[in-house]
Amino acid sequence: MLIGYMRVSSSDERQSVALQRDALLAAGVDERHLHQDRASGARDDRPGLKACLGELREGDVLVV
């Protein structure tokens, strides 16, 4: 199964979750398996990443 993760820095308005989402969907990730965070990469508290990693099972592919 393909699992997708996207992150946008809250300080960079030029980044777009929509563009990342479109790319993940085009790569074949099912919408039900998309996870996202809107936070600085320096922060450790990323609930979307934690949920994404928690969903991964042996044989799955993480698409970022």
pLDDT of res. 15: 65
The chain-wide mean pLDDT, for the chain, equals 88
Residues identified as active-site: 9
What percentage of the chain exceeds 70 in pLDDT? 84
The mean pLDDT of 15-19, rounded to a whole number, is 81
pTM (two decimals): 0.82
**39 or 15: which carries more pLDDT confidence?**
39
CA distance 45 to 61: 23
CA distance 28 to 55: 17
What are the extents of the domains in the chain? 2-63
What is the per-residue pLDDT across 29-53, written as a single tens digit (0 to 9) for each?
999 999 999 876 666 778 999 999 9
Furthest-apart CA pair in the chain: how many Å? 35
pLDDT of res. 39: 73
